[in-house]
Amino acid sequence: MPELPEVETVKSVIAPQITGLKIKEICVRTPGIIAHPGPEKFVRRLTGQKVSGMSRRGKFLTIRTECGDRIVLHLRMTGCLLVTPGKAAEECGEKDRKKYCEEYPEEKHTHLIFRLSEEKEGVQKELRFSDMRRFGRFWLLRDGEEDTYTGMEKLGLEPEDKELTAEYLRAHFGKSRKAVKTCLLDQSVIAGIGNIYADEILFTAGIHPARPANSLLADEWESLAEVIPERIAYFIEKNRITPEEYLETKGQDYRNTPYLQAYGHEGERCPVCGNAFCRMVVGGRGSTCCPRCQKSE
Ligand SMILES: [Zn+2]
């Protein structure tokens, strides 16, 4: 599942390719992925609008239009955005789409396509959304419309927010008997951390994932407040990829796998102490940790 660093990558690859383009046509293959306001209204309202930019909040992406509307989307488990390269508009009329698709075949499980073009005669591209598991969702919020739909309003601080301090973490989790890992996954307190980066953060901080949050000491909260933004920034940096590389791998292979130290390394040696990583279930989620480096009390 894409977490904050991956969603940030998607944004930085896709945004420059679609900003300034006009939405010429929208093809909804799977109406169920449009969560609000329904596929027909979604298409009618957006057709003809111009994309003005893109932003990320937690694991949500927002595509903005010039008139102030926002297309909010969440990739969930397997959602993927892809921009296919531009073609001169005259080569890419309706009858030539077949030819275009021969060159840039649609991914399996493509549910939504935005056909984009420059305002005058010019390049045409497609922004395609594919999703094997079909959990990904789109919402359209009209200019000024209150967001009571997406859940984005309920998100907590971004990891890099200066207000994410040891005091902030302790105020939210300090009395909780829940496992500290479960706390890190609480999107209403910190936005964007999922299973993978929670394991990485706790490994770097030297804290066992199953520790009840109320057992953490002052210096451990300090350490977490320091490690959370540091690790997230590190993985965003390691995730950098060019649009060409992204297209080459169909947006599927930009993950931080080679840089993960704990996640997915069960049974292998810890790079710090040489002991074997072990795997356990914490709060229903598979977790990897080093029993020697990550103190359980
Ligand atoms: Zn270790």
Model pLDDT, residue 210: 97
CATH number at 62 reads: 3.20.190.10
Closest CA to 60 of 153, 128, 196, 144: 153
Q: Quick one: 121 and 250 in the same domain?
A: no
User: Considering the domain boundaries, does residue 119 fall inside one?
Assistant: yes
d(CA 205, ligand 1 centre) in Å: 12
pLDDT > 90? residue 259: yes
Model pLDDT, residue 118: 83
Q: Quick one: 150 and 217 in the same domain?
A: no
pLDDT > 60? residue 297: yes
The rounded distance, in Å, linking the Cα atoms of 6 and 80 is 11
Q: Which of 50, 97, 285, 292 is catalytic?
A: 285
- Confidence band, pLDDT 50/70/90 cuts, at residue 89: low
- 93-97, 105-109, 213-217, 259-263: the lowest-pLDDT one: 93-97
Q: Quick one: 91 and 21 in the same domain?
A: yes
Q: How many Å separate Cα 222 from the centre of its chain?
A: 26
pLDDT > 70? residue 120: no
Locus of tokens 């992204």: 246
- Confidence band, pLDDT 50/70/90 cuts, at residue 75: very high
Q: Quick one: 150 and 170 in the same domain?
A: no
Q: Which of 3, 8, 158, 200 is catalytic?
A: 3
User: Considering the domain boundaries, does residue 297 fall inside one?
Assistant: no
Picking from 127, 154, 181, the residue at the C-terminal end of a domain is 154
Read out DSSP for 175-211? Answer: T--SBHHHHHT-TTTBSS--HHHHHHHHHHHTB-TTS
User: Considering the domain boundaries, does residue 149 fall inside one?
Assistant: yes
- Confidence band, pLDDT 50/70/90 cuts, at residue 98: confident
Q: Quick one: 144 and 185 in the same domain?
A: no
- Confidence band, pLDDT 50/70/90 cuts, at residue 208: very high
Q: Considering its fold, how many domains does the chain have in total?
A: 2
Q: What is the pTM of this model?
A: 0.93
Taking CB atoms within 8 Å and a gap of at least 24, the contacts of 229-235 are 229/159, 229/160, 229/164, 230/204, 231/197, 231/200, 231/201, 231/204, 232/4, 232/5, 232/159, 232/160, 232/192, 232/193, 232/197, 233/160, 234/259, 235/5, 235/197, 235/200, 235/259
User: Considering the domain boundaries, does residue 294 fall inside one?
Assistant: no
User: Considering the domain boundaries, does residue 160 fall inside one?
Assistant: no
Q: Quick one: 46 and 172 in the same domain?
A: no
Q: Quick one: 109 and 28 in the same domain?
A: yes
d(CA 149, ligand 1 centre) in Å: 43
Active site includes 59? yes
d(CA 273, ligand 1 centre) in Å: 4
Active site includes 2? yes
User: Considering the domain boundaries, does residue 144 fall inside one?
Assistant: yes
CATH number at 262 reads: 1.10.8.50
pLDDT > 90? residue 7: yes
- Confidence band, pLDDT 50/70/90 cuts, at residue 257: confident
Picking from 154, 176, 208, the residue at the C-terminal end of a domain is 154
The rounded distance, in Å, linking the Cα atoms of 47 and 115 is 9
d(CA 35, ligand 1 centre) in Å: 44
User: Considering the domain boundaries, does residue 87 fall inside one?
Assistant: yes
- 15-19, 155-159, 253-257: the lowest-pLDDT one: 253-257
Model pLDDT, residue 122: 67
User: Considering the domain boundaries, does residue 295 fall inside one?
Assistant: no
Picking from 120, 154, 188, the residue at the C-terminal end of a domain is 154
Q: Quick one: 105 and 225 in the same domain?
A: no
Compute CA distances 54 → 21, 48, 96, whole Å. Answer: 12, 18, 29
Model pLDDT, residue 250: 82
Active site includes 285? yes
* Domain span including residue 23: 4-154
pLDDT > 60? residue 34: yes
Q: Quick one: 9 and 150 in the same domain?
A: yes
Q: Which of 59, 64, 87, 211 is catalytic?
A: 59
The rounded distance, in Å, linking the Cα atoms of 136 and 10 is 14
The rounded distance, in Å, linking the Cα atoms of 5 and 280 is 24
Active site includes 3? yes
pLDDT > 60? residue 24: yes
What is the percent of the chain where pLDDT is above 90?
81
Q: Quick one: 61 and 148 in the same domain?
A: yes
d(CA 234, ligand 1 centre) in Å: 20
Q: Quick one: 172 and 268 in the same domain?
A: yes
pLDDT in tens, 138-196: 999 999 999 999 999 999 999 999 999 999 999 999 999 999 999 999 999 999 999 99
Q: Quick one: 131 and 201 in the same domain?
A: no
d(CA 187, ligand 1 centre) in Å: 28
